[in-house]
Amino acid sequence: MTVAIDRATGKRRGDRTPRPGLGRRLKDGYQKHWYAYAMIAPVAVVIGVLVLYPLGYGLYLTLTDANSLNSARTIGVNEIEATYKFVGLDNYADILWGPTAYDRFWSHFIWTIVWTAVCVGLHFFIGLGLALLLNQKLRGRTFYRLILVLPWAVPTFVTVFGWRFMLADQGIINSALDWLHLPTPAWLEDTFWQRFSAIMVNTWCGVPFMMVSLLGGLQSIDNSLYEASEMDGANAWQRFRYVTLPGLRSVSSTVVLLGIIWTFNQFAVIFLLFGNTAPDAQILVTWAYQLGFGQQPRDFAQSAAYGILLLAILIVFTSFYRRWLNRNEQQLAN
């Protein structure tokens, strides 16, 4: 019964040689692992009740034509029974290749991919650049770090409002551009500039996390590696390429994955920056929210179907990403 520390002793499942019968194995497994199961029980319950049950329910909703007019609701003292009916996969078919599919789904899908790629790319490269600068011996680097973390420290809903003041038609940014005799775009009205502003604001919000994580990664790289490579005559670029980047591998693969998931699902920035005013700048998440809650009647079924599609995209992406990482790691090990 050494479950609690079997990792420390290096024992693995599969070290056991003879394979007993099923009943025996269940009993053994129970005796051996009941501590572990008791300990994960609370989370299992929470996930089951608060995540899986709503997910199952949502999945069911996507197979119906539920909206706010035919769902169960209470008006005054009258309870109205739900009258929506089962429509099978119609919602998905409608979203993916119905007559409005391009307008509603695919255009937002493309924009969401662009949004995620551009934002995470900017987050990563700006964050890496700043982390490299902060990792030098430099006067006042603690001070710089504290200031550069600021966008992360302030709650997003606050900063986005700050940006809205700045991006307003005659706000400070346009005033400054005007003073420099540069064109003053309609940041919050024109589709292209809406997208541009959204990326800009989200980049501003997301860089500090990358920067601090990568700085942590840089500081964990063994300094003797740099000394050794310098002895071997590596120049600055080669040191960066062959020492720094491999040293950052595990940190960066994690933060990039988290960054992609978070950006893909980023709700607050776009929702607060534009509200309902920018149908073309909505990414899939905010678009799905708008279908479910931002219009009358609320289209619950379609909104949930979007949600399931989004989740499916992310799960597929993550599986491939992890497989790709594992393969690369094995190549490195060989």
- Report 90-149 residues binding other proteins (CB under 8 A): 129-130, 133-138, 141, 144, 146-149
Residue 118 CB contacts under 8 Å (≥ 6 apart), including other chains? 199
Contact flag: residue 296 with other proteins (CB under 8 A): no
CB of 125 to other proteins, least distance (A): 13
DSSP-derived letter for residue 169 is T
d(CA 268, CA 183): 29
Q: Among 20, 31, 37, 103, which residue interacts with other proteins (rule: CB under 8 A)?
A: 37
x/- letters, 142..181, toward other proteins (CB under 8 A) = --x-xxxxxxxxxxxxxx-xxx-xx-x-xxx--x------
Q: Which of 24, 33, 85, 323 binds other proteins (CB under 8 A)?
A: 33
Task: Write out the DSSP string of 125-149.
Answer: HHHHHHHHHHTS--TTHHHHHHHHT
- Please report whether residue 265 would count as binding other proteins according to CB under 8 A: yes
For the CB of residue 137, give the shortest distance to other proteins in the complex, in Å.
Answer: 5
Distance CA 168, CA 148 (A): 25
Q: Which is nearer to other proteins, 169 or 280 (CB)?
A: 169
Q: Choose among 213, 309, 206: nearest CA to 260.
A: 206
Give me 19's structure tokens: 């394979």
Stretch that binds other proteins, among 6-14, 90-98, 103-111, 115-123 (CB under 8 A): 6-14
Q: Shortest gap between Cβ of 99 and other proteins (angstroms)?
A: 22
Report the site for other proteins in 199-218 (rule: CB under 8 A): 204, 208-209, 212-213, 216-217
3-state SS, 70-105, equals: CCCEEECCEEECCCCCECCCHHHHHHHHCCCHHHHH
- Other Cβ atoms closer than 10 A to 264: 20
Query: Pattern 228-247, binding to other proteins, x per CB under 8 A?
Result: --x-----------------
